[in-house]
C-alpha cells in the first residue's frame, strides 16, 4: 500500500522511471528549444497557495524577484516547493554579482536564473560559470537539496542533467550594454537575452517612455543579436496586443502580469463599483 501511494504522489511530477530518479525537467527550456513562446508572470506575495495555483493552472513559469524584494532564500524554497505540485518552472532573479545566492536558488529547485544588469560578454560568461557545473562552468556541488533530488541522483547524472535542464536569462538594462549585446548573446550557456525595459528607460533619462525610439532600437538590436546567436529573447509585455507584436519580431520569452498588480486592480474595481452605492474609502491610495 505504501509503495502504491508513493508511486501515485510522484507520478504528476515524473521524477522517477524504471531507471531511477532524475531531475525535474524544465518546461521553459523544452518550449524554447521547440521555438514555442513562453509566458511568465511575476509574483511578489509570499503565500505558497499562489504558486501552487499558478503551477496547477499550467503557466510556463513563475518569476520570483530577489533583487528588489525582501524575500529570503528560505522563504523562496517554500514557494518553490508549492510550485512543484504543478508543472510551472521557477525563474529566480538574484541581484547583480550574487554568486552565492545564485547557486542556492538553483539548489532550492529553480529551473532558471534571471541575471540583472549584464554589462558585457565577460560578465555573462562569469554568470554561466556560476550557474553550470564543469565542464561548462565552476558551480559547486552539493546534491542534498530539492534539485538533485535529495542525494537521489548519482553525481555524474546530476551534473549532466543540471547543465541540461537549467536555463539562464541575462538582462540588458543599461543602454551601454547594447554595444555588447551580440557578444553577450553568443556566450555559451546563455539561453535568453531579456530587455529590462523599465530600467532601460530610467537609465536612458526617459523613465516610463516605452514607445521611445531608443527603446525600439534596443528591441531591434536585441532581436537581431539573439537571432544571429540562435538564442531566445524577450521582455515584459503589457497586453496580448503588445505581445503579438513582440512575437512577430521573434520574441519567445514574455513576462506579463504581477500578483501585486492583480490584487491592486481587483481592489480598485471594488472601490469603483461600490463607491456610487454610498460606501466610502478613506485610504491614502
Active site residues: 68
Residue by residue, what is the 3-state secondary structure of 222-278?
Answer: HHHHHHHHCCEEEEECCCHHHHHHHHHCCCCEEEEEEHHHHHHHHHHHHHHHHHHHC
C-alpha of 282 from chain center? 37
Place of cell 548573446: 185
CA–CA gap between residue 285 and residue 277 (Å, rounded) = 20
What are phi and psi for residue 258, nearest 5 degrees?
A: -145, 135
| CA–CA separation, 143 and 102 (whole Å) | 15
90: β partners: 62
**How big is the chain by its Cα radius of gyration, in Å?**
20
Collect all residues with Cβ–Cβ distance below 8 Å to 88 and sequence separation of at least 6: 27, 51, 54, 55, 58, 59, 60, 61, 62
Q: How far apart are CA 263 and CA 174, in angstroms?
A: 31
SS3 65: strand
Amino acid at each position: 500500500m505504501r509503495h502504491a501511494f508513493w508511486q501515485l504522489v510522484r507520478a504528476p511530477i515524473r521524477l522517477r522511471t524504471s531507471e531511477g530518479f532524475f531531475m525535474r525537467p524544465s518546461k521553459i527550456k523544452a518550449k524554447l528549444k521547440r521555438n514555442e513562446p513562453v509566458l511568465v508572470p511575476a509574483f511578489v506575495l509570499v503565500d505558497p497557495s499562489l504558486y501552487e495555483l499558478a503551477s496547477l493552472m499550467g503557466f510556463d513559469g513563475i518569476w520570483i524577484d530577489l533583487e528588489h524584494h525582501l524575500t529570503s532564500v528560505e522563504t523562496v524554497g517554500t514557494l518553490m516547493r508549492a510550485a512543484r505540485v504543478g508543472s510551472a518552472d521557477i525563474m529566480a532573479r538574484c541581484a547583480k554579482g550574487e554568486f552565492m545566492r545564485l547557486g542556492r536558488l538553483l539548489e532550492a529547485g529553480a529551473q532558471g536564473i534571471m541575471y540583472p544588469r549584464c554589462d558585457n560578454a565577460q560578465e555573462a560568461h562569469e554568470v554561466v560559470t556560476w550557474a553550470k557545473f564543469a565542464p561548462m562552468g565552476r558551480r559547486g556541488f552539493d546534491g542534498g537539496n530539492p534539485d538533485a533530488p535529495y542525494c537521489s541522483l548519482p553525481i555524474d547524472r546530476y551534473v549532466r542533467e543540471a547543465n541540461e535542464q537549467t536555463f539562464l536569462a541575462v538582462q540588458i538594462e543599461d543602454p551601454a550594454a547594447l554595444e555588447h549585446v551580440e557578444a553577450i548573446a553568443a556566450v555559451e550557456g546563455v539561453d535568453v537575452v531579456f530587455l529590462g525595459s523599465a530600467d532601460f528607460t530610467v537609465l536612458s533619462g526617459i523613465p516610463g517612455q516605452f514607445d521611445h525610439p531608443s527603446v525600439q532600437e534596443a528591441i531591434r538590436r536585441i532581436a537581431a543579436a539573439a537571432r544571429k546567436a540562435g538564442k531566445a529573447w524577450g521582455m515584459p509585455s503589457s497586453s496580448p496586443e503588445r505581445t503579438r507584436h513582440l512575437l512577430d519580431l521573434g520574441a519567445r520569452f514574455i513576462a506579463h502580469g504581477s500578483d501585486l498588480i492583480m490584487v491592486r486592480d481587483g481592489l480598485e474595481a471594488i472601490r469603483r463599483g461600490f463607491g456610487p452605492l454610498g460606501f466610502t474609502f478613506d485610504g491614502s491610495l
